[in-house]
């Protein structure tokens, strides 16, 4: 699938986008269902009359959310960032997508290729009671989780590794080798947040790592089991792929 139609000559706008992933098939334009990219491109067309492509810092799966996804588009119409943001937000309703920041950037700034790092957070509700307003916004795990054991095991995955075990069979990355700069597990009451940071991630990598850490927290896996799964470089050795509900694109980092 191509990134879309050629970009028009004009001003390059960078957006910070917040979205609830539940109604969407993911960020990327899809032929078989709605996407966040389509919603924003449709809003731009409504405001400017222009058919432009919106490029993002990363792609998200169906049901994954965005706290501060970065994206850009080239727009020919003369308009200020504030007026563009206001107009897009008006056209995006009732889709659960909001442009929370809009800036003019140089023409060589690219949301994906200029990005130096990406950060995700995965949210777990560790409780027996069903989720109400958070349904689809966190992963409910009813078994007690040992967050300290999860944090200790998580450090096995930090650094440069072949993450084939934690990579979707549909991943299109050229190499399974990635450098994970952070993987931390933090508990606050019955909530567990898992923070993952890297220059880039493989398809399903974060969800796969979270699923295996949950097995460690349940006592079903040891840290050695996690290390063995990593060293196996075999997707069949994956213990559990966490659902998309609790995953949020948190941040994209760029040069100053």
Alpha-carbon distance of 10 to 3, in angstroms, equals 18
CA 219 to chain centre: 28
Q: Catalytic site residue 61?
A: yes
**Among 212, 208, 213, 230, which Cα is nearest to 162's?**
230
Residue 120 near residue 247 (C-beta atoms within 8 A): yes
Residue 29 near residue 1 (C-beta atoms within 8 A): yes
CA 144 to chain centre: 26
Which entry of 3, 61, 108, 234 is annotated as an active-site residue?
61
Listed in sequence order, the DSSP H helices in 76-178 are 81-92, 147-154
**Among 105, 120, 96, which Cα is nearest to 40's?**
96
Q: Count Cβ atoms below 10 Å from residue 76 Cβ, excluding itself.
A: 14
Catalytic residue ranges: 61
């Amino acid at each position: 699938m191509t990134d879309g139609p050629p970009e028009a000559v004009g001003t390059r706008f960078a957006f910070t986008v917040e979205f609830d992933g539940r109604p969407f098939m993911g960020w990327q334009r899809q032929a078989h269902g709605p996407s966040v990219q389509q919603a924003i491109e449709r809003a731009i067309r409504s405001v400017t009359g222009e058919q432009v492509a919106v490029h993002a810092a990363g792609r998200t799966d169906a049901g994954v959310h965005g706290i501060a996804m970065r994206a850009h588009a080239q727009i020919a119409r003369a308009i200020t960032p504030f007026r563009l943001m206001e107009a897009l937000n008006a056209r995006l309703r009732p889709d659960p997508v909001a442009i929370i920041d809009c800036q003019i950037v140089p023409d060589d700034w690219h949301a994906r290729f200029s990005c130096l790092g990406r950060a995700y957070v995965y949210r777990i509700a560790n409780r027996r009671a069903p989720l109400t307003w958070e349904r689809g916004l966190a992963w409910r795990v009813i078994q007690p989780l040992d967050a300290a054991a999860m944090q200790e095991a998580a450090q096995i995955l930090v650094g440069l590794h072949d993450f084939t075990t934690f990579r979707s069979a549909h991943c299109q990355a050229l190499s399974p080798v990635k450098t994970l700069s952070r993987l931390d597990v933090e508990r606050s009451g019955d909530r567990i947040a898992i923070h993952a940071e890297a220059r880039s991630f493989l398809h399903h990598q974060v969800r796969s790592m979270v699923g295996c850490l949950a097995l460690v927290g349940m006592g079903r896996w040891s840290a050695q089991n996690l290390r063995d799964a990593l060293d196996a470089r075999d997707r069949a050795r994956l213990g559990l792929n966490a659902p998309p509900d609790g995953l949020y694109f948190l941040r994209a980092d760029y040069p100053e």
